């Protein structure tokens, strides 16, 4: 097996802010430095691309000195949060823009799909656009003519082929565009989240086509997506980018585990009550942790989510109950779970501080963002303490059976129903 | 391990993406590989121009026709500017047809990065294809308008107007190529200069109109004040239009040195334009 793509010390700097009179003086400064053979004064102070922190320079390194190799025939997923540098990397690979320093060496023809339907002209017919789009993507006319029937067939738009594409439904448009791209004959295929379009049936077709490309035809595929499920269905390896740097390269399972543990110290996964008021019952310490008791904010769907919950109660509140409610992004209460304080302490031997670990089973919550509502209350009488928005965690799509449905709402929990076949005809 | 490293080093790469490359590395072989795209883009421009119109390609005639009528009225009848003894509509139409081709090439090319930023930002193909397609699709348009000019010429010939095509008519293809190259070269320079700072783009829209008056479109070079004639002649477009008129209508100042001068200026523009364009295309997406 040989290397198909070799990325060496790749960096890309971007300038923040607007371009105007103010940037002219800096351009001159850079130019003078260049003429005098010095290093670019603004690049040396470039800093990691962390959006949330106010930086001292307005040049950011969207990619910071990354190096990796990709073997021929590999299907590699590129994952990372928004702003991690995935799109920049794709742009560099597809030669849309050039790196600030470092190099990429490539063996074979690259076809990149940063967007479907680039260059589609609304006034032209489907037929004309297939040719135009194919040529933009680097195909020769003969090649397109040879694959024309396959493309139309894959897109399923035969009846509309001589109608201007502006009359197409958006689904048809996307299907046609993807079909052209899917029939490119290139050794390396780079795909950005284009699969997040179209209906589930078509998405399935796309994933099928992509895995044919990588597994069947032995071509190299680079695939960027937020949907770990489709990455897992397609790729054997992943590259994780974090704030412009390479965080991990290796096999998919380790990669996904790594991905969900980045950003563990999210502020929304811990809560601490600082003052010590002994005149009421209240929560003192809440934290989302994983099975290794480490603070985490993102979880695979197939791992347990643990909540650490400390609170103190007054003696007169022994009849109180402590409960959690897990609430999803669309404000649905997924479930409630509670215990009574009196089950764990009593009047004779009263202990005011209780410390629990609550275990939410794996394979239960569907990928989504959840917040937890903690309540300490005397049932139907009064709330002693209520915390609505302090803790949050995310279940990441890491290969559930429903991953092809993307962000479609298919419920809150996984239920393993028993399906008994009675008869077939 | 050693072996593997050696193997990797010995590999030949088909493509190397680097921050800088030589200014003279123009990727012309890439442009050749994408020649089908060039054809399809020209076709797209032509077809999409008259989609959903009733008159279709006839609209190509309207602009030069109306401009000629207007010029004949304003500059011919009202101002009474000399036309070297040629029928006024014929004189103006010759100038307009030629000038429009140059002006269209220049203005369209000069905004090529801005107009195509969304395509350029998503997919790679040799960027030079875009300005080339502009020049070619304008050539189609020029061809149609040139036919109109020939018709008007035939009309006047039948009515016995005094004009005589000369041998210089064989220079017609050269003139067209030079006009295209000049428009392309100057347009590419401007488009490259306007990706980051757009100031120049404001200049070009009215600059091209002003430039027309500094070219012999509405008056012959012979009618220009002797004191300022060198200035008008210094405009490389003047010689091209004069040669065009001299060839088809037999009136105009034609000289080999003047045409040579235009040719040299055009070549310089074209080379400079191509080099600057190639330098800018690599990272313009970041600043446009």
Annotated domain spans of chain A: 71-261, 267-405
B174 membership: H or E segment, kind and range: helix B172-193
Which SS3 state, helix, strand or coil, does residue A293 take?
Answer: coil
Q: Provide the b/e sequence for A271-308 (b: ≥16 CB within 10 Å).
A: bebeeeeeeebbbbebbbbbeeeeebbbbbbebebbbb
C-alpha A105: how far from chain center: 27
The pLDDT score that the predictor gives to residue A156 is 86
Q: What is the interface size between A and B, counted as CB pairs within 8 Å?
A: 115
Q: Tell me what pLDDT residue A49 has.
A: 59
Sequence-ordered list of residues with C-beta below 8 angstroms from that of A415, at least 6 positions apart, any chain: none
Average pLDDT over residues A405-418: 84
With a cut of 70, say whether residue B8 has pLDDT above it. no
Split at pLDDT 50, 70, 90, the class of A356 is very high
Is A339's Cβ below 8 Å from some Cβ in B?
no
Label the pairing between strands A59-71 and A47-48: parallel
pLDDT recorded at residue B255: 85
Least confident window among A138-142, A234-238, A380-384, B9-13: B9-13
pLDDT per residue over B74-88, tens digit each?
A: 988 888 888 888 888
Other CB atoms within a 10 A radius of the CB of residue A159 amount to 10
Mean pLDDT of A43-71: 71
Intrachain domains A71-261 and A267-405 with the same fold: no
**Which percentage of chain A shows pLDDT scores above 70?**
88
Quote the tokens at residue A12.
């890309």
Task: Supply A133's token pair.
Answer: 């789009």
- pLDDT band with cut points at 50, 70 and 90 for residue A372: very high
Are B61 and B142 in contact by the 8 Å Cβ rule? The answer is no
- At A263, the pLDDT band (50, 70, 90 cuts) reads low
A177 vs A115: CA distance, rounded Å: 9
Q: Who has greater pLDDT, A58 or A307?
A: A307
Task: Show Cβ contacts of residue B226 under 8 Å, excluding neighbours closer than 6 positions.
Answer: none
Alpha carbon distance A403, A231 (integer Å) = 10
Whether residue A108 and residue B12 make contact (CB cut-off 8 A), yes or no, is: no
* pLDDT at residue B106 in the model: 92
Question: Is B15's pLDDT higher than 90?
Answer: no
pLDDT confidence of residue A274: 67
Cβ neighbour number for residue B48 with a 10 Å cutoff: 15
CA distance B85 to chain A (A): 47
CA distance B39 to A277: 79
**Once rounded to an integer, what is the mean pLDDT over residues B223-234?**
84
Q: Is the pLDDT of residue A82 over 80?
A: no
Position B4 pLDDT exceeds 50: no
What class, spelled out in words, does domain A71-261 have in CATH?
alpha beta
Q: How far apart are CA A97 and CA A247, in angstroms?
A: 23
Kind of pairing between the strands at A305-312 and A298-300: unpaired
Residue A84 pLDDT greater than 80, yes or no: yes
pLDDT of residue A339: 93
- Give residue A335's pLDDT: 93
Confidence of residue B3 (pLDDT cuts 50, 70, 90): very low
Comparing A12-16, A54-58, A83-87, B195-199, which segment has the lowest mean pLDDT? A54-58
| Model confidence pLDDT, tens digit, residues A159-202 | 999 999 889 888 888 888 888 888 887 888 888 875 556 666 77
Q: Are B190 and B280 in contact (CB under 8 A)?
A: no
Question: Where are chain B's structural domains?
Answer: 30-286
Taking CA atoms, what residue in B is nearest to A90? B122
pLDDT band at A358 (very low <50, low <70, confident <90, very high): very high
CB A3 within 8 A of CB A187: no
Q: H/E element holding A33?
A: helix A21-35
Q: Which of residues 245-284 of A touch B (CB under 8 A)?
A: none
For A379-405, what is the mean pLDDT? Answer: 86
Checking if the pLDDT of A324 tops 90, the result is yes
| Nearest CA-CA partner of A403 in A195, A222, A249 | A195
Lookup result for tokens 């009846």: A159
The closest CB to that of A98, out of B41, B197, B283, belongs to B283
Mean pLDDT of B80-105: 89
ipTM of the complex: 0.82
Chain B residue whose CA is closest to A94 = B124
Q: Out of A15-29, A95-109, A182-196, which region has the weakest mean confidence (pLDDT)? A: A15-29
Q: Which of B11, B41, B286 sits opposite A97 (nearest CB)?
A: B286
Residue A146 binned pLDDT confidence (cut-offs 50, 70, 90): very high
Within a 13 Å sphere around the CA of A388, how many CA atoms are in the beta-carbon half?
1
Sign of CA dihedral A37, A40, A44, A49: negative
Strand duo A75-79 + A237-242: pairing: parallel
Could you tell me if B205 lies within 8 Å of chain A, comparing CB atoms? no
Nearest to A9 by CA among A69, A87, A51: A69
Q: Which of B17, B34, B51 minimises the CB distance to A103?
A: B17
Rounded Cα distance between B192 and B163, Å, is 43
The whole-chain average pLDDT of chain A stands at 84
CB contact under 8 A, A107 and B51: no
Q: Identify the CATH class of A267-405.
A: mainly beta
Residue with tokens 């070219």: B215
Q: For residue B202, how many other CB atoms are within 10 A of its CB?
A: 10
CA–CA distance, A117 with A180 (Å, rounded to integer): 8
Q: Running DSSP on this structure, what letter comes out for residue A55?
A: P
* Among A312, A311, A256, A264, residue whose Cα is nearest residue A288: A264
Between chains, do B48 and A137 touch, taking CB under 8 Å as contact?
no
User: Is the minimum CB–CB distance between B34 and chain A shorter than 8 Å?
Assistant: yes
User: A residues 99-138 near B, CB within 8 Å?
Assistant: 99-110, 112, 114-115, 118-119, 121, 123-124, 128, 131-132, 135-138
**Taking CA A242 as the corner, what is the angle to CA A236 and CA A248, rounded to the nearest 5 degrees?**
40
Tell me, what's the pLDDT at A148?
93
pLDDT tens for A298-310 read: 899 889 999 999 9
Give the model confidence (pLDDT) of B170-209 as tens digits: 999 999 999 999 999 999 999 888 887 777 778 888 888 8
pLDDT at A194: 59
**What would the two tokens of residue B254 be?**
């034609």
Asked if B259 contacts B243 with a C-beta cutoff of 8 angstroms, the reply is yes
Greatest mean pLDDT among A19-23, A271-275, B138-142, B192-196: B138-142
Q: What is the pLDDT of residue A56?
A: 56
- Are the beta carbons of B196 and A19 separated by less than 8 Å? yes
For A141, which of B36, B197, B284 is closest by C-beta distance?
Answer: B36
Q: Where are the alpha helices (DSSP H) in B51-128?
A: 59-71, 88-110, 112-115, 117-120
């Amino acid at each position: 097996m040989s290397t198909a793509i070799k990325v060496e010390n790749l960096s890309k700097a971007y300038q923040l802010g607007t371009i105007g009179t103010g940037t002219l003086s800096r351009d001159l400064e850079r130019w003078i430095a260049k003429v005098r053979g010095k290093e670019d004064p603004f690049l040396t102070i470039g800093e990691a691309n962390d959006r949330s922190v106010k930086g001292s320079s307005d040049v950011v390194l969207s990619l910071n000195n990354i190096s990796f190799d990709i073997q021929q025939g590999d299907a590699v997923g590129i994952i990372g949060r928004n702003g991690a540098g995935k799109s920049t990397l794709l742009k560099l690979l597809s030669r849309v823009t050039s790196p600030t320093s470092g190099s990429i060496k490539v063996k074979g023809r690259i076809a990149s799909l940063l967007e479907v339907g680039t260059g589609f002209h609304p006034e032209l017919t489907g037929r004309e656009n297939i040719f135009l789009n194919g040529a933009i993507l680097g195909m020769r006319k003969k090649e397109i003519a040879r694959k024309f029937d396959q493309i139309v067939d894959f897109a399923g738009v035969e009846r509309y082929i001589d109608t201007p594409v502006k009359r197409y439904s958006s689904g048809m448009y996307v299907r046609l565009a993807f079909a052209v791209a899917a029939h490119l004959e290139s050794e390396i295929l780079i795909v950005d989240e284009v699969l997040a379009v179209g209906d589930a049936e078509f998405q399935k077709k796309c994933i099928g086509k992509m895995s044919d490309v990588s597994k069947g035809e032995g071509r190299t595929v680079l695939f960027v997506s937020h949907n770990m499920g489709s990455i897992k269905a397609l790729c054997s390896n992943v590259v994780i980018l974090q704030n412009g740097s390479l965080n991990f390269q290796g096999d998919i399972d380790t990669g996904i585990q790594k991905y969900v543990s980045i950003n563990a110290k999210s502020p929304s996964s811990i809560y601490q009550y600082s003052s010590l008021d002994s005149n009421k019952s209240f929560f003192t310490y809440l934290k989302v942790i994983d099975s290794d008791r480490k603070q985490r904010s993102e979880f695979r769907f197939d791992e347990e989510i643990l909540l650490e919950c400390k609170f103190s109660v007054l003696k007169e509140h022994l009849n109180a109950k402590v409960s959690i409610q897990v609430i999803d992004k669309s404000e649905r209460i997924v479930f409630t779970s509670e215990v009574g304080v009196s089950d764990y302490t009593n009047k004779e031997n009263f202990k005011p501080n209780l410390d629990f670990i609550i275990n939410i089973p794996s394979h239960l919550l569907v990928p989504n963002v959840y917040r937890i509502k903690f309540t300490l209350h005397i049932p139907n009488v009064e709330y002693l303490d209520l915390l609505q928005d302090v803790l949050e965690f995310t279940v990441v799509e890491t290969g559930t059976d429903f991953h092809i449905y993307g962000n479609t709402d298919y419920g809150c929990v996984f239920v393993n129903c028993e399906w008994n076949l009675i008869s077939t005809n | 391990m050693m072996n593997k490293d050696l193997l990797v080093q010995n590999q030949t790469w088909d493509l190397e993406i680097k921050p800088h490359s030589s200014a003279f590395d123009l990727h012309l072989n890439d442009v050749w590989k994408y020649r089908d795209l060039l054809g399809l883009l020209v076709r797209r421009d032509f077809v999409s121009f008259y989609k959903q119109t009733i008159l279709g390609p006839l609209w190509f005639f309207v602009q030069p026709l109306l401009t000629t009528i207007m010029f004949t009225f304003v500059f011919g009848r009202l101002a009474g500017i000399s036309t070297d003894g040629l029928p006024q509509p014929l004189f103006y139409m010759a100038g307009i047809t030629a000038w429009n081709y140059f002006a269209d090439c220049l203005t369209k090319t000069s905004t090529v990065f801005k107009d195509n930023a969304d395509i350029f930002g998503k997919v790679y193909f040799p960027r030079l294809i875009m300005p080339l397609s502009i020049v070619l699709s304008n050539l189609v348009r020029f061809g149609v308008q040139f036919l109109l000019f020939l018709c008007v010429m035939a009309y006047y010939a039948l009515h016995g107007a005094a004009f005589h095509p000369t041998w210089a008519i064989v220079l017609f293809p050269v003139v067209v190529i030079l006009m295209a190259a000049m428009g392309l070269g100057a347009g590419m320079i401007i488009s490259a200069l306007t990706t980051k700072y757009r100031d120049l783009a404001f200049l070009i829209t009215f600059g091209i109109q002003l430039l027309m008056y500094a070219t012999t479109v509405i008056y012959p070079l012979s009618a220009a004040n002797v004191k300022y004639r060198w200035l008008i002649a210094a405009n490389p477009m003047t010689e091209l239009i004069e040669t065009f008129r001299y060839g088809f209508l037999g009136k105009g100042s034609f000289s080999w040195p003047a045409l040579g001068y235009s040719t040299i200026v055009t070549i310089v523009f074209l080379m400079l334009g191509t080099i600057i364009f190639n330098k800018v295309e690599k990272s313009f997406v970041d600043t446009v």
